[in-house]
Chains A and B, each alone.
Chain A
């Protein structure tokens, strides 16, 4: 005998033909979906960090704005500082200098702002301690001691921003769920196409006594590996793209903060196994559904 049956026997383990459009479709879909999922994940995590910063960080600070005639400004400022020094729950209070206020306003009015000729209110930065102060009581005392002083505890803008960030986070996570769902649908379509184009293979296997589990396993294994490899490539590219975004420290702002920090980089690594699990489950369901129609 000139042939090598041993080799042929090993090949028999590959009962499903090795190639087809569904192979590329599955790999490409998984790669694209994983790539998008990395960004959705980055968005969700960045929004989460932002929401936490706005809710926790700014909750401990407040600003007192003093609008008074120029000749009363110094007196009212000092009165407010004295009052804050004796207010329980206030950890520190600091009046901003003209230079600091100029820097604050510079992005809107430019560097040549004539601060001394404009009725700019004086700002006092207040930091509260763990127990916090009585906001209503402080407002009443300020009204009595310094009529031009207004307490702004940031609630007005902090709450909607935190809510927005929280919703953005939900949106990011929902995007991940949608992407996974879309991937499941695409893999189901590809698996069904592969099963349909291999109807003859399935028929032969049934004829020689193959159980559904054996036939399904041949397809499931293939699609799981394709999804895993595709998602691994997509995730790697996505992580590289996120890493290449400008850093938050360098430019500031929300969009530049989009990315992963610390242990957050581990989250995208869950995407390839997740894609594999999705492919495993969807292909298995598709395969058994299709096989039930073949005696």
Chain B
């Protein structure tokens, strides 16, 4: 799905990531952990081509990122569901329209029933007409997840999806991601919450990647 080969990324002269080589296999579940500012968000942005590597090679769906034009990147993102850390929405549109946005931008439509089912799945069925600013942190995170999955993506990338919610809501969000993984989706979740990672690892065989000294390594029993 997504492969990194000796990737490095520098910004303003400082190297944020170095010699990163890994592969997100189809149907896999990965956590990415590390302290704040360690480069988790940067890694995710490299995964959906918002950033380009300063060295090395990234392949997304077997295509070198460097060879992707702007329209190619847009098409690639239609296969990647992104749950952003700050849950970016169009604040002037109701929740249902925001969730359906990935379909709207591709000229596709969805049935009212499917959209209702999706909103119900994330527990937001009663908030279809609500505007994003009126939603709580947890509701926004779940709405972002619904938006990420509405296009039936192959990969879901979540950047600190539980950052603004309580423990109970965190577990609920992660259980949705686990459910998606069991449906065959490739999942990568960036989080610094190790307790959450340990809890989820009891349910599924998730791999944990850790950023340390600009490098990404597989975490072992010391987690």
Contact = CB atoms under 8 A, between A and B. Distances in A.
A200 B88 CA distance: 8
Interface stretch (B123-131, B163-171, B178-186, B200-208): B123-131
A2 B128 CA distance: 7
8 contacts: A1-B119, A3-B129, A5-B100, A8-B129, A9-B109, A9-B112, A209-B102, A214-B105
A17 B92 contact: yes
A2 B88 contact: no
Contact of B84 (A9, A13, A207, A292): A207
Nearest to A292: B70
Nearest to B82: A207
Contacts of B120: 1
B74 A206 contact: yes
Contact of B101 (A5, A6, A12): A12
Nearest to B106: A209
Best-buried of A1, A17, A201, A210 by chain B (most CB within 10 Å)? A1
Interface of B: 48-51, 70-71, 73-75, 77-78, 82, 84, 88-90, 92-98, 100-102, 104-106, 109-110, 112, 115-116, 119-120, 125-130, 147, 151
Given A13-B104, A205-B105, A207-B82, A5 B75 contact: no
**The 5 residue pairs across chains A and B that have the minimum distance between CB atoms:** A3-B128, A8-B96, A210-B105, A12-B97, A209-B78
Contacts of B50: 207, 295
B128 A15 contact: no
A215 to B, nearest CB: 8
A9 B90 contact: no
A201 to B, nearest CB: 6
Q: How large is the interface on A (under 10, 10 to 19, 20 to 34, 35 or more residues)?
A: 20 to 34
A11 B101 CA distance: 10
Contacts of B90: 15, 17, 201, 204
Nearest to B127: A3
Given A5-B116, A9-B109, A9-B110, A211 B70 contact: yes
Best-buried of B77, B82, B110, B128 by chain A (most CB within 10 Å)? B128
A206 B73 CA distance: 9
Nearest to A212: B70
A273 to B, nearest CB: 27
A210 B101 CA distance: 9
A14 interface: yes
Contact of A5 (B74, B84, B96): B96
A212 B128 contact: no
Nearest to A200: B88
A15 B104 contact: yes
Given A208-B147, A210-B105, A295-B50, A3 B126 contact: yes
A31 to B, nearest CB: 26
A290 to B, nearest CB: 13
A180 B130 CA distance: 43
A131 interface: no
Contact of B89 (A13, A17, A204, A210): A204
Nearest to A3: B128
A208 B98 CA distance: 10
B89 A6 contact: no
Interface in A2-41: 2-9, 11-15, 17-18
B126 A207 contact: no
A12 B104 contact: yes
Contacts of B110: 9
A203 interface: yes
Given A5-B116, A5-B128, A18-B92, A207 B77 contact: yes
Contacts of A208: 77, 82, 101-102, 105, 147
B22 to A, nearest CB: 22
Contacts of A200: 88
A200 B84 CA distance: 13
A8 B105 contact: no
A1 to B, nearest CB: 4
A1 B94 CA distance: 14
A14 B70 CA distance: 23
Contacts of A12: 93, 97-98, 100-101, 104
Contacts of B70: 211-212, 291-292
B35 to A, nearest CB: 25
A4 B93 contact: no
Contacts of B119: 1, 3, 5
Given A8-B129, A204-B88, A295-B73, A1 B116 contact: yes
A203 B89 CA distance: 10
